[in-house]
Structure 1
Amino acid sequence: MRKNQNEDTNVTLKAPRARVLSTRLHSFTSSESSSPRSLTDPLVHDLDWRSRRYLDYFASDVCKDFVLYDTPKHNPFRQLIPMAHHQPMLLQAIVATSALHMSNASLLLPSASSIFTTPASTENSSELVGSLSIGHTTSYPDAFHDALKAKQQALWLLSSAIRNVASANVDAILAAVLLLVGFELIDSGPGRGSWKYHINGARMITQKLIASGPAKGTSFSPLRNPLTNPGTHDALQLLHAAKSFDPAAWATNLQPRSPADDLLHRTMVACAHRTAVCVYISRIILAIWPSTMLSDDLQILAAEIITHLSHLHPGDALFTATAWPAFIAGLETCDTMDRAWVQRRFQELWKVEPWGFTREALGALRTLWAGRKKEAFLTSSDDEFFKGEENWNWIKRLKSLGADWLIA
């Protein structure tokens, strides 16, 4: 997962393709006796039919969203289900994540005209959060309510386990924390940023284990010096390191371990990420040291990102790995056609994986685009306009939205 700072908007997208909710779910809503055959396993025979429904949906639909390649017996998230039989905390985290995913996947909106809410009409970020939040109760409300209930139970059980971490199953604790982070990313409500609490909790657990456990000679590598030593020189070195990365060599080295013949797609994804990292670092440098002269035209780099990502389409295994570079391209580009492409890409991502962060990302882009357009209207001359465009830095604008968030 990659962290981007300070996003505070959300936007309503189309409901995903009908395939996301498989036909077997109709039997789940009828009666207890119609639970799917796959859940007659002894591991789940003592669970109520709702829990079995969500476990089945977790195994069939949610698990594949956590990995690039969902191959038999090689998805670690699906392997959490047997562990959950003996770990109520983990079970509730699975149920919560699955139920929320099911709720998102079943959202039905009345018309395409309601896909977007215009953020420019909102005065501040707190109002924007409320105006763009999703009405879960309008569709499949039982799944959404089940998600909230299971999340609260998981948090209560997790709190109890952390208080007794020395005797608890640490693997189950960390797995539950990871799923709760996923829950927050799937969530499309106004409570964004909650994932930070789970990350901090995992950090606290790790620190407790290090402090209480015997020394094993294991050391945690500190962040690289360019990230911890301030200064233009270090920042430029970091930018140079990003430019020096060879996507083709990296993709070729990984290909023998890939379950698919995806060398071209993997290379294009790596190229897009390399260019996006260069744009991101460049904008940070210009935000801190505005007088720095950089050799790259960031508008050209944004167009390059889109060119690389255009090789991947819905249905490609690596398609979901395009969210972060697409977001960076959308933040940087001034081109209306490129912005339209980015909007379509996030709509397509939502159809493939109904995770709330895709809507939040598009909401942030639309908010920043509207702000940039408003500033352009206020310029009094062409010279002032072009100077404003040159000095416009989305890093600062993104920070001003007032929340931390993740793009997976």
Structure 2
Amino acid sequence: MFLLSQAQMAKNGKTSPRPRNNVVYQDGCFFIVDFLRFSVPQTTLCSLCPGEEFVRLTITMAATGPAHSTAADSTSASIAPSAVVAKPCHNCRRRRLRCDRSLPSCQKCIKKGEKCLGYGKLLVWNRGVASRGKMMGKSFHVPDQAAASTAASGNQELCLPRKYRFVPSNMPDGEAEAEAEAEASGDEGETSVSINPCLVDPLFQDLDRASRFYISHFTDQMCRDLITYDVPRHNPYRGIVPLIRDHALLLHVIVANSAIHISNVISKGSGLLNGVPGQYPQHDALMAKQKTLQLLNQAMNDIDAVDPEVVLTAILLSINYELVSSGKDDWKVHVEGAQKLIDYFGLSKRSDLSSAMSALRDHVVSDCLIYYILGSTFSARQPNMGSMTSRYPFLDVLPLLERAEANSYMSCPAFLLQIMLSASHLSNLDVITGFEEEQAGYLMERARTFNIDAWAASVQGISSHNDFESRVHVASAHKSAVCLYIHQAVPSANLMDDDNRKRIVEDIIGHLSFILPGNLLLKGTSWPTFIAGAESRDPAQRAWIVARLNDLWEMLPWGYVHTAIEMLKAVWAMEDTAAETTGGWLKKLKGLGNDWIVV
């Protein structure tokens, strides 16, 4: 609307405005108001100021009321307070109040401080993509505030739909279509189109949905299992994921690990992954494992042309796959291959890597060697480890184990691991002489004099958590278990009597009882738990051991836990039915001919 200002009136010699009968003066401006029937707004010349124009405000009145109205701003509410309409405003109509029907806004709404919605048609969002057609009633998925804040914070974690129906890539077409039809014809009354609000990382954009799901599970779940504490920027296994773009070997072995882990989660009845068909993850795991073995075979045939750290990482994850699956037999082949690779490239002594890759290398090499040590304690035959089968095995890699022991999920001192390895060599000898018995006594003395408190204090300077008491209990349980193992490795040395063995079993159970379910250090207690269970003849202690391993299974659904229970039942059956206990349970367990591993 054109406004006639006081400056323009002064130019024409008008000092005091005097409005005509159809001119309204307000705030130094003139408004012409006409009430005409069936007319339209028009522009006219101001008779007071020749050559100036202003807008004639016209309110068109129909027979039953105004057909439409035009107003400039809130000042127009005082232009024609007597004008009314036939219907109440939208505010009063919804609240079922008596409306004064004044124009251009309801005075009742203005007095309440509310914005009057007026009398005409409202533009209402119909909560859908379209008001008609195939897209009618469908809407976009709106992320919650937590998800939006995570995306805005720049977090680089894999962004997947929050509500995800898993359909593996290898599902037959007919079954996939049936799954889609079942979802489309579900009981939900409202169909929605879920659109992922986050951008897809270029690392994953060429992968199918199933592969993204498995990689996300590996990042969120399995990386936590491979170390004691999952601290941001201090979990080297998360650094494996960015390497999958350039190394298909790592991609397939990660998918295999995640798929078999998901299968175990489903088998224990967890509600973590509702809606995932149990048979499909296991099938995907076998397919990815087969592809991994093919790529590993190609890499080992052209060993000088491959990245040794990448191949060793793939071998370690292949060992983990066997541990998650069952912990029987197949792990040994991968352990032997890992040691050959470590010896060939000298990976235990290399220092030409970046800090991130160096941390990953240290943990990968350390875990491979730990798997060898723990596997050699119960397996029927010693793995062929090349240069490590010397008179003093494992001495050259002890510093490497010490660098990685602070966050290793075994939570076992590297010094005790060295003693454990030497004792396992003695247990595999067919003939025991006085020299071997003397060696066993020397190992027993070294284990008994090991200072647990000093070790726990040294680890506190490296670890990110203040867990001194828990570290002491776990290391003490390992120390006592190593002493029992040395006795079983060379029973002819008579290093312990029956009463001493019973006291040590009680000591192990006493220390383990301080590590409650939910404590992350529980992940490193399976080996001493198994040793105590194999030595025990008390039914109450045996029941406690089985319950303890079941608690570990709830935290760590890896198949080797069930294998440990199976091994214990086999040992108990042999010990309870044997007339004499000569030879010890360790010789009998190895005599079964199976390659067991308890980690």
Which category of TM-score, normalised to the shorter sequence, fits these structures? 0.7 to 0.9
Structure 1 position 147 matched with structure 2 position 271 = no
- Hey, what's the Cα distance between the residues in 2 that align with 1:330 and 1:366? 10
Matching residue of 2:570 = 367
Residue 207 of structure 1 and its aligned partner are, at CA, apart by 4.0
- Hey, what's the Cα distance between the residues in 2 that align with 1:93 and 1:37? 29
Alpha-carbon contact 1:35-1:49 (below 8 Å) kept: no
Indicate which of 473, 491, 503 corresponds to 1:268. 473
Structure-to-structure mapping, 1:4-403, within 5 angstroms: 27-29=164-166, 40-108=200-268, 140-188=278-326, 192-209=328-345, 222-223=392-393, 227=422, 230-286=435-491, 289=492, 292=494, 294=496, 297-375=500-578, 388=580, 391=582, 393-403=584-594
Residue 206 of structure 1 and its aligned partner are, at CA, apart by 3.2
Aligned CA distance change for structure 1 residues 204 and 312 (closer, same or farther; 3 Å): same
Alpha-carbon contact 2:527-2:598 (below 8 Å) kept: yes
- Hey, what's the Cα distance between the residues in 1 that align with 2:482 and 2:194? 50
Q: Deviations over 1:63-83 (max 9, x none)?
A: 111111111111111110001
Alpha-carbon contact 1:323-1:407 (below 8 Å) kept: yes
Q: Secondary structure at 2:597's aligned position in 1?
A: strand
User: Which structure 2 residue ranges, 5 or more long, are not aligned?
Assistant: 1-159, 170-192, 270-275, 353-386, 396-418, 427-434
Aligned CA distance change for structure 1 residues 236 and 170 (closer, same or farther; 3 Å): same
- Hey, what's the Cα distance between the residues in 2 that align with 1:371 and 1:107? 30
Alpha-carbon contact 1:39-1:52 (below 8 Å) kept: no
| Matched letter for residue 402 of structure 1 | G
Aligned CA distance change for structure 1 residues 31 and 350 (closer, same or farther; 3 Å): closer
Q: Secondary structure at 2:520's aligned position in 1?
A: coil
Alpha-carbon contact 1:27-1:35 (below 8 Å) kept: no
Aligned CA distance change for structure 1 residues 393 and 176 (closer, same or farther; 3 Å): same
- Hey, what's the Cα distance between the residues in 1 that align with 2:551 and 2:525? 11
Q: Secondary structure at 1:394's aligned position in 2?
A: helix
- Hey, what's the Cα distance between the residues in 2 that align with 1:36 and 1:171? 35
Q: Secondary structure at 2:483's aligned position in 1?
A: helix
Q: Identity of aligned pairs, percent?
A: 35
- Hey, what's the Cα distance between the residues in 2 that align with 1:278 and 1:373? 23
- Hey, what's the Cα distance between the residues in 1 that align with 2:342 and 2:565? 34
Alpha-carbon contact 1:65-1:353 (below 8 Å) kept: yes
Aligned CA distance change for structure 1 residues 35 and 71 (closer, same or farther; 3 Å): farther
Aligned CA distance change for structure 1 residues 265 and 374 (closer, same or farther; 3 Å): same
Residue 315 of structure 1 and its aligned partner are, at CA, apart by 1.2
- Hey, what's the Cα distance between the residues in 2 that align with 1:348 and 1:306? 15
- Hey, what's the Cα distance between the residues in 2 that align with 1:275 and 1:248? 15
Alpha-carbon contact 2:526-2:598 (below 8 Å) kept: yes
| Matched letter for residue 329 of structure 1 | A
Aligned CA distance change for structure 1 residues 372 and 210 (closer, same or farther; 3 Å): closer
Residue 205 of structure 1 and its aligned partner are, at CA, apart by 2.5
User: Which structure 1 residue ranges, 5 or more long, are not aligned?
Assistant: 1-22, 110-137, 380-387
Alpha-carbon contact 2:444-2:483 (below 8 Å) kept: yes
Residue 257 of structure 1 and its aligned partner are, at CA, apart by 1.5
| Matched letter for residue 205 of structure 1 | L
Q: Deviations over 1:267-296 (max 9, x none)?
A: 00010000000000011121xx26x35367
Runs of 4+ in 1 over 3 A off after TM superposition: 23-26, 30-39, 206-211, 219-222, 224-230, 293-296
| Matched letter for residue 303 of structure 2 | V
- Hey, what's the Cα distance between the residues in 2 that align with 1:329 and 1:35? 54
Residue 373 of structure 1 and its aligned partner are, at CA, apart by 2.3
- Hey, what's the Cα distance between the residues in 1 that align with 2:567 and 2:290? 29
Residue 208 of structure 1 and its aligned partner are, at CA, apart by 3.7
Q: When the two structures are superposed, what TM-score results if normalisation uses the length of structure 1?
A: 0.76
- Hey, what's the Cα distance between the residues in 2 that align with 1:345 and 1:392? 27
Aligned CA distance change for structure 1 residues 93 and 37 (closer, same or farther; 3 Å): farther
Q: Secondary structure at 2:525's aligned position in 1?
A: helix
| Higher helix residue share | 1
- Hey, what's the Cα distance between the residues in 2 that align with 1:148 and 1:34? 31
Alpha-carbon contact 2:256-2:288 (below 8 Å) kept: yes
Q: Deviations over 1:182-201 (max 9, x none)?
A: 0000003xx82101111111
| Matched letter for residue 329 of structure 2 | G
- Hey, what's the Cα distance between the residues in 2 that align with 1:371 and 1:403? 15
Aligned CA distance change for structure 1 residues 300 and 24 (closer, same or farther; 3 Å): farther
| Matched letter for residue 354 of structure 1 | P
Matching residue of 2:411 = none
- Hey, what's the Cα distance between the residues in 1 that align with 2:199 and 2:254? 15
Matching residue of 1:407 = 598
Residue 264 of structure 1 and its aligned partner are, at CA, apart by 0.4
Alpha-carbon contact 1:35-1:53 (below 8 Å) kept: no
Aligned CA distance change for structure 1 residues 31 and 304 (closer, same or farther; 3 Å): closer
Q: When the two structures are superposed, what TM-score results if normalisation uses the length of structure 2?
A: 0.52
Alpha-carbon contact 2:553-2:561 (below 8 Å) kept: yes
Alpha-carbon contact 2:168-2:210 (below 8 Å) kept: no
Aligned CA distance change for structure 1 residues 347 and 161 (closer, same or farther; 3 Å): same
Aligned CA distance change for structure 1 residues 336 and 170 (closer, same or farther; 3 Å): same
Residue 171 of structure 1 and its aligned partner are, at CA, apart by 1.0
